[in-house]
Structure 1
Amino acid sequence: MNERNRKMELRILAALCALLVLAGTWTAFGWKSQMEQVAYASSQRMMMEERAASDIKQTAAQSAGTVNVEWTAKADKPSEEAAVLPSGGKTALAAAPAKKHEKVIYLTFDDGPSIHTSDVLDILDKENIKGTFFVLGQQAERNPKLVERIVKEGHAIGNHSYNHEYKTLYSDFRNFWNQIKRTGQIVEKIIGYEPVLVRAPGGTIMNFDKQYFELMDKAGYLVYDWHVDSADSKRRGVPAREIVQAIKKGALLPETVVLMHDGVGHDETVKALPDIIAFYKSKGYTFDVLSPEVKPVQFHVGSTARWKRSPVSTAWIQDNVKPIETLVAAKDPMTFTVETDQGQIRLEPDQFMSYEDKTYVPLRMLVEKLNGTVNWNVESDRVNVEWNQTAVEFDLKQGQLSQTMPDGTIQIHEADLVSQNKMTWVPLRVMLDAFQVKMFHYELEPVQPEKPAAA
């Protein structure tokens, strides 16, 4: 009897186990179905968590004195890009300095320029920090002077489509492409070059599919989403206090891209901006502009389709998707004249060059034009510069400059240096900022050919 009871108990136990397995399988499929339904809503958070985990791992490796080889190869390997002399001279390869990993905030502003952009620029100027402006083509057409001011004051500029209309942009890649090219041409007419930085209206999540990403990459554009949404556009008239709170709840990554807006109706963003800057400064962050040196942050492709569209044909791609020309030599030799509060600085065609949307000049030549002094220590690869009671030391190996402030404190800044023609070239604006020289405007003028001597 006991033997029969034991067999019965074993049968019951086996049946229970089978039921549990079936229940687990049904639950797993139920979870999967739910996850697919909300994948588009959670993908941004997943991306941020993955990036945060990666950054924590990298930071820990650095602290322990180890290096993640794969990460270093992507972030620290100097790129060989063409440094093109505006004189139209031969293209030379210049090694781009490695981007140092520190706590950096990239403030980005979408939908401008508008009546609020001047206020944003005034605040950034007062705080002595730079931002990145993703402009709409139709707004750039209306406000070309603001586009010029953005660039002249050292901020980065990006392409945000022509009119921001989602249905048009995301119903067909050809529409998106045409708006990007149209805006690029508008901006190029204003500032002289087409921006390589792009931000998709509304972000790429649920808007971009695989082909959108592939074709933008094929053309050489860099598409940037964000880590932190200031929530200043979730409804009309979001108050400044809510914007600041959204910022404070956002991720604090070693490199953090922040989304804000300077378009019409965003006066509360202007009010919130000083508090946002103060918050990040209190957390030990510095500020910088997005550039090709900054790896684009991009959302995952959503698993649920939002837009019904068909892929564009191979023939259309071959006829239309051409690489963006980011560095173009001038057809004729040009002189570059900069008006500053210390007077005029005139540079001959061989005394400046464009590299990654920055103007570079020989270090010694610029200091001498400012009537300063340069002392070069060849053994230590350091350069000591003095001008107007301001002392700056360049560490050529580390790509840094140390600035002694009036109160005796020392500030360390990154200085992207380029070695060419046996000279050290420095970003013009970085040097002027270090010496507190204010740039008013600049002019490029063709070199006039010499008239033949009279017979």
Structure 2
Amino acid sequence: MKHNITLILFVVVVIISSYFLVESPYLIGTIVILVLVLFVVIVLGVSFIQFNYFVKSINKGDNKEISFTFDDGPNPETTPQVLAILACENIKATFFVIGHQLEENKALLLKIHNEGHTIGNHSYCHTKKLTLFSTIHLMNDIEKCSVAIEKIIHHKPLLFRPPFGITTPRYQRALKHLDMKSIGWNIRSFDTIAKNKKALYKKITRKISDGSIILFHDTQQITVDVLPEIIQFCKTNGITIVPLPELINTRAYA
């Protein structure tokens, strides 16, 4: 794991610095700088899933095709609109759902599944506090979401997307124990904060490349509004949109 390598290098550099600077007035300053560098590396590793620092995540496919993924649903207002657009274009996407929202949206989750889309786990409680949970608590939260999904679609998901893309060593241990894969992205739409459809369209389309995994949210009206245009862009440029399991060559369910 990258974190272990970083810690080993940090210790080695501190030892070497201490040896050569043992009588130097710069020793303490050097160690302080090294500690700050380590802190920055850890913060970046926690915050950016693409770094694969604590958890090895799949952030892009190896093929020329791309995949659409949608987080934070199901939402009774916007998810059906997303489904209608995808159905019209015969596109299969992946929906990373939040467990606590399923109780009131069972029929909608079943509809997503029955229309051929993949269901992934996006945690049960979906809070940044998950990073503070113990490994056992984290495992229980993820498993609780998987159980809720399985009760509705009769399949247990193997794909997990960490809320907010935040990862820690506890996630690595939890996912290893649960035999689940962490799924990231290489294009983050930021549609939850986007205000301008044209700007959102440009932001996404200029980054599309072979193997792209695009992160949308099926909870946003602006996503519903821009989705047909992004699909048209892909069609015009000969870009094929395939299901995520096909793109990354893995199973979606146990």
Q: TM-score range by the shorter chain?
A: 0.7 to 0.9
Matched with 1:122 is 84
Q: Using the alignment, how far apart are the partners of 2:33 and 2:113 within structure 1?
A: 50
- Assess if the C-alpha contact under 8 Å between 1:230 and 1:246 holds in 2: yes
* One-letter amino acid of the structure 2 residue matched with residue 158 of structure 1: G
Q: Using the alignment, how far apart are the partners of 1:152 and 1:164 within structure 2?
A: 25
* Structure-2 change in CA distance of 1:133 and 1:29 (3 Å): same
Q: Using the alignment, how far apart are the partners of 2:102 and 2:49 within structure 1?
A: 33
Matched with 1:159 is 121
* Structure-2 change in CA distance of 1:251 and 1:32 (3 Å): farther
* Structure-2 change in CA distance of 1:248 and 1:44 (3 Å): farther
Q: Which structure shows the higher helix fraction?
A: 2
Choose which of 107, 112, 119 in structure 1 pairs with 2:73. 112
Q: Deviations over 1:259-302 (max 9, x none)?
A: 11012xx1111111112222233332211122287168xxxxxx
Q: Superposed, which structure 2 residues align to 1:18-33 within 5 Å?
A: none
Q: Deviations over 1:156-206 (max 9, x none)?
A: 0001111211114533222321121111111111111211111110013xx
Rg larger in structure? 1
Q: Using the alignment, how far apart are the partners of 1:239 and 1:148 within structure 2?
A: 32
The count of aligned residue pairs is 219
Matched with 2:4 is none
* Structure-2 change in CA distance of 1:33 and 1:272 (3 Å): farther
Q: Using the alignment, how far apart are the partners of 2:49 and 2:184 within structure 1?
A: 13
- Assess if the C-alpha contact under 8 Å between 2:157 and 2:252 holds in 1: no
SS in 2 for 1:119: helix
Q: Using the alignment, how far apart are the partners of 2:98 and 2:74 within structure 1?
A: 7
* One-letter amino acid of the structure 2 residue matched with residue 227 of structure 1: N
Choose which of 261, 269, 294 in structure 1 pairs with 2:248. 294
* Structure-2 change in CA distance of 1:46 and 1:194 (3 Å): closer
Matched with 1:258 is 214
Whose RCO is larger (CA < 8 A, sep 6+)?
2
Choose which of 190, 196, 221 in structure 2 pairs with 1:231. 190
TM-score between both structures, scaled by the size of structure 1: 0.43
Q: Using the alignment, how far apart are the partners of 2:214 and 2:200 within structure 1?
A: 12
Compute the displacement of 1:116 (Å): 0.6
- Assess if the C-alpha contact under 8 Å between 2:63 and 2:211 holds in 1: yes
- Assess if the C-alpha contact under 8 Å between 2:139 and 2:178 holds in 1: no
Matched with 2:146 is 184
Where structure 1 has 5 or more consecutive residues not aligned to the other structure, the ranges are: 1-27, 49-54, 56-98, 297-354, 359-455
Confirm whether residue 145 of structure 1 aligns to residue 145 of structure 2: no
Q: Using the alignment, how far apart are the partners of 1:278 and 1:142 within structure 2?
A: 33
Q: Using the alignment, how far apart are the partners of 2:174 and 2:207 within structure 1?
A: 31
* Structure-2 change in CA distance of 1:251 and 1:198 (3 Å): same
Q: Deviations over 1:349-407 (max 9, x none)?
A: xxxxxx8659xxxxxxxxxxxxxxxxxxxxxxxxxxxxxxxxxxxxxxxxxxxxxxxxx
SS in 2 for 1:141: coil
Q: Which structure shows the higher strand fraction?
A: 1
Q: Using the alignment, how far apart are the partners of 1:157 and 1:103 within structure 2?
A: 23
Q: Using the alignment, how far apart are the partners of 1:122 and 1:156 within structure 2?
A: 16
Confirm whether residue 217 of structure 1 aligns to residue 176 of structure 2: yes
Q: CA RMSD in A?
A: 3.4
Matched with 2:64 is 103
